[in-house]
Amino acid sequence: MNLSTLEDVVTAATTVNDPVALASALKAFLKRDIAEHLLASSLPNDVDPLTVLNPTANTLGYLYILTARLDHAGAGLALLPQIVAFCEGCTPGPLAFVPERVNIFASKLIKQQNIVEVLPALATFVQRYPWNRDIFTATHTVLLHACVMTRNYHVALPVLAHPVSQVDKGIYPFNYIDNLLYHYYAGFIFISLRRWAEAEEYLEMVVAAPITTTPSAIQVEAMKKLALVHLIRHGTLKPMPRYVPQLFTKMIRQSPYGQLIKAYPAGNLVQIIEKETKAFLQDYNLGLVREVLENAPRWKLRTLTKTYLTLSLAEIGKEIGMEDASALRRLVEDMIKVGEITATLDKDTLTFIDEKPIFSPADVEKALAEAQMQCKRLAALDQQIGRSKEFLQKALKDRDTGGGMAWAGHGADESDLMWAEELGGDFV
């Protein structure tokens, strides 16, 4: 099948029933120097080819033409109805034969001026694109990147609500960095939404990914954020799971973050933060560090439950360093309400209750099942990534040159670092 004009493309898209043959013909057509220009043009008599094609019945032709037209300035505004129609109505099956075009389409979408309007359609597309919603694709990373850049975090939640647990690189190619960034962006989104448990889970998956001699810059930055999330959620740096290289714990403890970890929650936190402000700011973590500081009184108060049975609010204020009596009362009441402490507050007296949590067999089985599923997800992704061409090439390069990413940030590839300077968000 030889396609040489836009009319040929439209005819093939509407008459060829074999998606493999049509995909092959469209790929061959793209090799022409003026292919993208032709795809972005009109049919004779100025007919818009997208009005001739149907996104459901003619998915491949619609994709190729729509993608080409997204190069024009302001295209996203003019093509919003067509973008939505394609994302919501395309037939996913044939797209498996043109993953490169799909990735280009997604990347062009997030460069449109009306990206905020486009994001919900892209989120729908990302969920419909793979033949199984459990499968990770490069479009997952593109979507989360756009949600972070525009601070439209909630748009990503329907996608994140269904965690990816499989890969099929034969159909949906992606690279090592795509995987790291997807989980890093997910962690960032949950941090911004103050959903600490989910943030911890995704950031842990970043640092658990395969490494060569030293971790990538993305993993290093993820570990910094993970340490801060640990302080907020657990009041200390938790021991890392066995599948996470222990070098991360050693690295973080030897960094400015290590001083904060060592002092938390009762040390001279303000002085440490003031001293290391430059480092935290350069890492785009100063806002998150401030969140850590804001949570310190809660952890100081929780430690009192191990020593005292009864304390007055005045005594508590003195112990945790809070002089504002009204703020202290609100803190205590909130901690009781959300279950952070088991206690009763009678006028100005707080009485701690020694109540041990009771776990039913069903609770234990559920937690075990979730942990096993997490391990399977990590193992599947690690196995695929560890066999990937770019990871093996990086491993060989690091072995031969001693390269890789040092803790201080020297020696990383530019592709590893480009994302870091973009991230701002609510916790800068």
How far is residue 273's CA from residue 363's CA, in Å, rounded to a whole number?
A: 39
Alpha carbon separation from 40 to 66, 105, 121 (Å, rounded): 8, 13, 21
Q: What is the DSSP letter of 352?
A: E
- Mean pLDDT score across all residues of the chain: 86
- Residue recorded with tokens 């329907």: 158
Judged by DSSP in three states, 47 sits in: strand
How far is residue 38's CA from residue 30's CA, in Å, rounded to a whole number?
A: 10
Token pair of 326 as six digits: 């009204």
Clarify whether residues 317 and 394 are in a common domain. no
Clarify whether residues 36 and 96 are in a common domain. yes
Tell me how crowded residue 428 is: count the other CB atoms within 10 A of its CB: 13
Clarify whether residues 198 and 85 are in a common domain. no
Q: Enumerate residues 6+ apart whose C-beta is below 8 A from 191.
A: 199, 225, 229, 288, 425, 427
How far is residue 201's CA from residue 316's CA, in Å, rounded to a whole number?
A: 33
Token pair of 202 as six digits: 């995704």
**Is 221 inside any structural domain?**
yes
At residue 312, φ and ψ (nearest 5 deg) are: -80, 160
DSSP per residue, 327-341 = HHHHHHHHHHHHTSS
**Is 164 inside any structural domain?**
no
**Is 141 inside any structural domain?**
no
pLDDT in tens for each of the 428 residues of the chain? 899 999 999 999 999 999 999 999 999 999 999 999 999 999 999 999 999 999 999 999 999 999 999 988 778 788 999 999 999 999 999 999 999 999 999 999 999 999 999 999 999 999 999 999 999 999 999 999 999 999 999 999 999 999 898 989 889 999 989 999 999 999 999 999 999 999 999 999 999 988 877 889 999 999 999 999 999 999 999 999 888 888 999 999 999 999 999 999 988 999 999 999 999 999 999 999 999 999 999 999 999 988 899 999 999 999 998 989 999 999 999 999 999 999 999 999 999 987 665 556 666 676 666 666 655 565 555 555 554 455 445 444 443 433 333 333 323 343 444 444 455 555 65
How far is residue 282's CA from residue 269's CA, in Å, rounded to a whole number?
A: 19
**pLDDT of res. 305:** 87
Clarify whether residues 29 and 120 are in a common domain. yes
**Is 144 inside any structural domain?**
no
**Is 248 inside any structural domain?**
yes
**Is 95 inside any structural domain?**
yes
**Is 116 inside any structural domain?**
yes
How much of the chain, in percent, has pLDDT values that exceed 90? 70
- Domain range for 309: 305-355
Clarify whether residues 255 and 403 are in a common domain. yes
**pLDDT of res. 4:** 93
Clarify whether residues 229 and 370 are in a common domain. yes
How far is residue 27's CA from residue 421's CA, in Å, rounded to a whole number?
A: 35
Could you give the number of structural domains in the chain? 3
Angle at 312 between CA 308 and CA 313, to 5 degrees: 115
pTM value is 0.83
How far is residue 303's CA from residue 300's CA, in Å, rounded to a whole number?
A: 5
Enumerate the β-bridge partners of residue 346.
349
Find the helix packing angle between 80-89 and 115-128, rounded to 10°. Answer: 20
**Is 424 inside any structural domain?**
no
